[in-house]
Amino acid sequence: MHPDCERILISEGEIRARVVEIGRRISSDYAGKELLMIGILKGAMIFLADLVREITVPTQYDFMAVSSYGASSKSSGEVRILKDLEYGVEGRHIIIVEDIVDTGLTLNYLAENLKSRDPASVKICTLLDKPSRRVEPVEIDYNGFVIPDEFVVGYGLDYSDRYRNFPCIMVLSPKVYMNEGE
């Protein structure tokens, strides 16, 4: 295990098994339909890459990037689109794929924004759900794991853009935050 991490929260094998299960459920829910998966950069990239390979219905994927100022800044957690979709979503069945839902502000904004573009349907899929910190309710259609209020990294999730390449989900050691701004 990496010295910056306190413990493994979800192993590579557990993630793998859950991704297969979610892929099966999505494939069955969307039987006879075509799907557009929208990955939120950069955190959801690894989850999306594994998930799409478990889906058996015709599937395309695209990416969006947003910058979130979080719950503490201003009233409604301002979210800015840094990179928009390549194609329109009108009339498409879309699934937004996130790494983690924390306050819910990012996903609420994204879901509302995408709904206003007249897709046929919008669902939300996240690898991790941290419900204890929710500020705005989010209806999650596909969830990998509910986790406690701890800061996690790995499998796409970062701290200062590091640790994304870890194959499992780990709890970051507090000593890493203490060195913040060194």
| Closer residue to ligand 5GP in complex, CB, 4/29 | 4
103 binds ligand 5GP (CB under 6 A): yes
Q: Give the shortest CB-135-to-ligand 5GP separation in angstroms.
A: 7
How many chain residues touch ligand 5GP (CB under 6 A)?
A: 19
What is the C-alpha to C-alpha distance for residues 86 and 159, in angstroms, rounded to an integer? Answer: 28
With CB under 6 A as the contact rule, the residue among 46, 99, 168, 170 that binds ligand 5GP is 99
With CB under 6 A as the contact rule, the residue among 101, 110, 114, 168 that binds ligand 5GP is 101
Q: Give the shortest CB-172-to-ligand 5GP separation in angstroms.
A: 8
With CB under 6 A as the contact rule, the residue among 35, 55, 106, 124 that binds ligand 5GP is 106
Radius of gyration in angstroms for the set of CA atoms belonging to the chain, rounded to a whole number? 16
50 binds ligand 5GP (CB under 6 A): no
With CB under 6 A as the contact rule, the residue among 125, 153, 168, 176 that binds ligand 5GP is 153
Which residues participate in catalysis according to the annotation?
A: 102
Q: Give the shortest CB-145-to-ligand 5GP separation in angstroms.
A: 12
**CA distance between the termini of the chain:** 24
With CB under 6 A as the contact rule, the residue among 27, 60, 68, 121 that binds ligand 5GP is 68
CB 101 within 8 Å of CB 129: yes
Name the site residues for ligand 5GP (rule: CB under 6 A).
43, 68, 98-107, 130, 151-153, 157-159
